[in-house]
Amino acid sequence: MSTEFVGLAVLMLAVTYPSRAVGLLVPGIHRLPKPALDYLQLVGPAVLSAIGAVAVLVRVPEDGPPTFGIGVDSFAVLAALLITAWRRNLLFGILVAVAIAVVARALGLG
Amino acid sequence: MTDAPTADPASAAIDAGADLRGHRRRLVLDGLGIIVTAVGFGFVYGLAAREDAGFSPVEVVAMSTLVFAGAAQFAAVGYIAAGVAWPGVVLLTALLNARHILYSASIAPWFAGRSLPLRAIAAHLLTDEAYALSMAHFRRTGRADLWGYWFAAIAVTFIPWNLATLAGVVVGGSIPEPEAFGIDVIFPGAMLGLAVGLITGRREIVAAFVGAGVGIGVGLAMGTAVGIIAGGVIGPAVGLLVPERAAHEMAPLGTTPSAERYAMPGTHLRPDRRREPDE
């Protein structure tokens, strides 16, 4: 069984852990000025939105530059977003999104 | 139990314990959605790692336990499949995971006074999902209930993710078309749903929309990894442009409105158990 990529995993850990640890391990990081703390409170919504939007609206072909694309998955995720915002229920939103994607694809829509 | 202020310390302690149990129960139920995400996304990752990059089960387990960063792991599979050399993969990983610097600094105040080994372990388990769930929990409780962090990081994310990635690489080959089962919509749906859970005012809304827009725009021009980082950096900056008096912050930290804002249906405390924090 191949173990070649275990080395790559160690290297990826080496560049990931410092990002996760710097805030938690540097003393006094929580004594940042209020604007900095306000900024950090907004990071979560911004980053999570960017990840979700990019994942569902930016297509990355094997060869060629990224392109903008709307598909069944886009509408399914939009439904999940709206349901989660409306009902405050992430699990329900995800299940609806999966159901929409499954049904739409079964109907040959995407 | 009524809405009247609690008179004696013993009753207050009992009520506080009941509130904490309620908040933890809500966290557990909220975490179910994330477990679904972790299992679905992890399974697809295991499948992709085997099919696209030729990972063995040992290599997938190493990635999921050591790196423990879904988006970066997925990206790495794509780049390995495209023939990118290891230095390029490592650079991409560093770029994509740089957002954790901001998460780490954001959550650090809740870990003030905790031991160095505890914070060091907590850092390794800091993911998008653990951050969002535990921050919401801390806001609801108004204090750092570390049980909530370990639950979000380990029970909701680390264990399901690792088991699912292993299942994906071992048995995933028998599923010919994962997209037919809608597995591909789980991850973006969860990311956006988690973002919704963190919105408590107009600043967060602006930050989220700008983050998404910048992420898409920069992602199209410079690649998705750069787009995500750009959205995560620029979105909050634009959000701060909303004047404080116009921000309509509905849920200051540690208050009942904060808890209510983050509540998920079916997990609300009963009305007769709600109390204002200063009562």
Q: Which positions ≥6 away from B158 have C-beta within 8 Å?
A: B68, B125
Tokens of B252: 């200051």
Three-class SS of chain A: CCCHHHHHHHHHHHHHHHHHHHHHHCCCHHHCCHHHHHHHHHHHHHHHHHHHHHHHHEECCCCCCCEECCCHHHHHHHHHHHHHHHHCCHHHHHHHHHHHHHHHHHCCCC
pLDDT, chain B, mean? 80
B222 near A66, Cβ under 8 Å? no
The predicted structure's pLDDT at residue A31:
63
Residues of B within 8 A of A70 (CB-CB) are none
Does the pLDDT at position B30 exceed 60? yes
pLDDT, tens digit, for every residue of B33-65? 888 878 887 887 888 788 778 899 999 999 999
Q: What is the pTM of this model?
A: 0.66
**Interatomic CA distance for residues B236 and B215, integer angstroms:** 13
For every one of its 110 residues, what pLDDT tens digit does chain A have, with 9 covering 90 and above? 789 999 999 999 999 999 899 989 986 665 667 787 778 778 878 888 998 899 899 998 878 889 999 999 999 999 999 998 888 777 788 889 999 999 999 998 87
Amino acid type, A90: L
Sign of CA dihedral A98, A104, A105, A107: positive
**Interatomic CA distance for residues B206 and B212, integer angstroms:** 10
**Interatomic CA distance for residues B196 and B262, integer angstroms:** 9
pLDDT, tens digit, for every residue of B234-247? 999 999 999 887 77
B232 near A43, Cβ under 8 Å? yes
Calculate ∠ Cα B179-B73-B174, nearest 5°: 40
The predicted structure's pLDDT at residue B253:
44
The predicted structure's pLDDT at residue B14:
60
**Interatomic CA distance for residues A36 and A54, integer angstroms:** 26
A-B contacts (CB, under 8 Å): 350
ipTM of this model?
Answer: 0.84
Closest CA to B247 of B213, B204, B211: B204
Higher pLDDT, B230 or B174: B230
Q: Which positions ≥6 away from B91 have C-beta within 8 Å?
A: A15
Does the pLDDT at position B13 exceed 70? no
Q: Find the CB nearest B36 among A8, A20, A94.
A: A94
The predicted structure's pLDDT at residue A95:
86
Please indicate whether, in this complex, the C-beta atoms of A5 and B53 are within 8 angstroms of each other. Answer: yes
Residue B149 to chain A, least CA–CA distance (Å): 13
Residues across chain B: 279
A72 near B233, Cβ under 8 Å? no
Residues 21-60 of A with CB under 8 A from B: 21-26, 29-30, 32, 35, 37-58, 60
Mutation for B interface: A43, A74, A89, A107, most B CBs within 10 A: A43
**Interatomic CA distance for residues A90 and A109, integer angstroms:** 25
pLDDT, tens digit, for every residue of B196-251? 877 878 999 999 999 999 999 999 999 888 888 889 889 999 999 998 877 776 65
The predicted structure's pLDDT at residue B172:
66
Q: 3-class DSSP state for residue B156?
A: helix
Amino acid type, B2: T
Tokens of B128: 């998008």
Residues of A within 8 A of B106 (CB-CB) are 23, 40-41, 43-44
